[in-house]
A and B are shown apart, each in its own frame.
Chain A
Amino acid sequence: MCYYFYRMDFKKPHYRHLAEKWAKRNENYIQKLINEHKEAFEWLAQNTKKLAISSLAGLFIISSPLIAKLTPTTVSAEKSIDRNVFLVSDLSHVLPDEVGPLSEFREKEVEEILERTFKLKIKAQLNGIRLNTTYGKIGAEQHLSRYPGDNIVTHLDSEEEAKEYWSAGMAPGLGGWGYFADSQSETTEKEKMREKYYIAVQAFLAPGFNEDRQRYLDFFKFRKMLVVNPHNGKAVVAVIGDAGPAAWTGKQLGGSPEVMKYLQRYDGRQVRGVLYFFIDDPNDEVPLGPLE
């Protein structure tokens, strides 16, 4: 079913009439284009992989549903196009120009795009709790102490890591939920990954936070989130490991050095937006880290 029909069952009849009819007409156009100009679109599909994603982000104006409908002979070409291209293209149609809270309608569209792309259960609101926004500017955070005595020397496991992440430094204080483990010997791979891939969110600005602080804090502690750079399609599964940044900074969340590097997001004048949604993962099955 075309996603334009999403949740239209309870809408006004005249809206539904037009939306269904116009979505159908659009589908017919796409089908006709594919049937009659297949060779040219196949050629485009095979050649777009050579172009930079950054150029595709703003300019990929052939709709992805059209490319997606190409017949099986095109499947290999379709596969060769980076999934990120489709994601960037799809998101560019639904995200506003300015970074900021999305309307419920837009949020649902984004949820659907992310679910379809990553095959995860993505929620703007989970267990009745939501953050102040799902589309915010991300700043750079520092490494967090995982256990008492953890410092920049013990923190980085290899020369490569040291080279890459030393300069980010250690945060002077602990994360919002204290240490990740009680001691070095009790620090498992799980805690290491939580610290590597953590984000700081403005939990204190979540609607309803002040009415039930403990419930909210328990909910946010190491809660898994999908963080997506909508401009290059890079996505990472991270946990909420800290609270912040302060509202006056103009940023809405922070990312660990590893998160920032993978997403290719930067602080300072280059601060830009990311999408961040809860992952509904009650059995803790979704691994942390980049979604390649």
Chain B
Amino acid sequence: MNYNNIMKKKRFYAHLVETSSITVELADMELSQEERLHLLNLVNSNIHNSVLETVLSNLASEDKKIFLANLHSNDHDKIWSHLKSKIENIEEKIKESIEDLKKELQKDIAEAKKAI
């Protein structure tokens, strides 16, 4: 099993994400490697889309396009210099959205554990 593909593309917000608590929770459940990998991929997709939502909701129309173009070219420096110039405390905002999502995901895991 190759877990590298889960985070094959380093996201611009990678330094703000810490998902070990979820990984540990999943490691604790009776799951096959494939199932675990699938769930971790879903966690990453959810985080990615949650970050997109946070960023886009804080940008004006033309800046959204600039952001998407930068995102598309995966130029982390450009992404951050643009975002920092347009959104106050953007790193905090992204962190907060990720933490909120993680709480939801952990709640889901607790529910799922009851089903075991």
Contacts and interface: CB of A to CB of B under 8 A. Distances in A.
A23 B42 contact: yes
A39 B56 CA distance: 11
B78 interface: no
A33 interface: yes
B74 A40 contact: no
A95 interface: yes
A12 interface: yes
Given A12-B35, A22-B39, A59 B2 contact: no
A132 to B, nearest CB: 18
B74 A12 contact: no
B53 A14 contact: no
Interface string A11-40: 111110111011101100110110011011
Contact of A44 (B57, B69, B104, B111): B69
Interface in A62-110: 62-63, 66, 92-98, 103, 105
Interface stretch (A47-55, A148-156, A203-211, A250-258): A47-55
Nearest to A43: B65
A61 B11 contact: yes
A41 interface: yes
B1 interface: yes
Nearest to B67: A40
B53 A26 contact: no
B61 A40 contact: yes
B72 interface: yes
Contacts of A22: 39, 42-43, 46, 105, 108
A169 interface: no
A12 B26 CA distance: 14
B2 A98 contact: yes
B8 to A, nearest CB: 7
Interface string B84-113: 000000000000000000001100110111
B45 interface: yes
A17 B49 contact: no
Nearest to A14: B112
A97 B4 contact: yes
A279 to B, nearest CB: 26
Given A33-B56, A59-B74, A15 B31 contact: yes
Given A22-B42, A22-B43, A58-B9, 11 more contacts: A14-B112, A15-B31, A17-B108, A18-B39, A18-B42, A18-B109, A36-B56, A37-B56, A40-B61, A61-B72, A103-B34
Interface of B: 1-2, 4-5, 8-9, 11, 29-31, 34-35, 38-39, 41-43, 45-46, 48-50, 52-53, 56-57, 61, 64-65, 67-69, 71-74, 104-105, 108-109, 111-113, 115-116
24 contacts: A4-B38, A13-B115, A15-B31, A17-B111, A17-B115, A18-B108, A22-B43, A22-B46, A29-B53, A33-B52, A33-B53, A37-B56, A39-B61, A40-B61, A40-B68, A47-B69, A59-B9, A59-B72, A59-B74, A61-B9, A61-B72, A62-B72, A63-B49, A93-B5
Closest A-B pairs by Cβ, 5 of them: A29-B49, A40-B64, A22-B42, A105-B34, A14-B112
